[in-house]
């Protein structure tokens, strides 16, 4: 499991913690729980350890929560 924090861009103090990988419904539910509206920009903070290959990609590119969830799913299934 990989810890991720989903936060509002406009109010960085408002957000939620989410363990990835998560079921698709949990990912969809994360946005209203973090008080995000459709299309509202958000920030993702990765907490804890992420494998080096994934971490290097994540540091170079912006990513969505859905993409991060997919990346988290791969190493957890080994």
Residue 25, pLDDT score? 95
Q: Which of 21, 13, 9, 14 is nearest to 65 (CA)?
A: 21
Residue 61, pLDDT score? 77
Residue 54, pLDDT score? 72
Q: Each residue's pLDDT tens digit in the chain (78 positions)?
A: 888 899 998 887 889 999 999 999 999 999 999 999 888 999 888 877 777 767 777 777 778 999 889 888 866 555
Distance CA 2, CA 24 (A): 16
* Residues ≥6 apart with Cβ < 8 Å to 16: 5, 6, 30, 33, 34
Q: What pTM was estimated for this model as a whole?
A: 0.78
């Amino acid at each position: 499991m990989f810890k991720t924090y989903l936060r509002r861009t406009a109010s960085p103090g408002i957000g939620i913690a989410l363990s990835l990988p998560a079921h698709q419904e949990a990912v969809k539910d994360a946005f209203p729980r973090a008080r995000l509206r459709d299309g509202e920009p958000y920030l993702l903070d990765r907490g804890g350890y992420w494998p080096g290959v994934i971490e290097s990609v994540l540091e170079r590119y912006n990513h969505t929560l859905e993409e991060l969830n997919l990346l988290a799913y791969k190493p957890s299934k080994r």
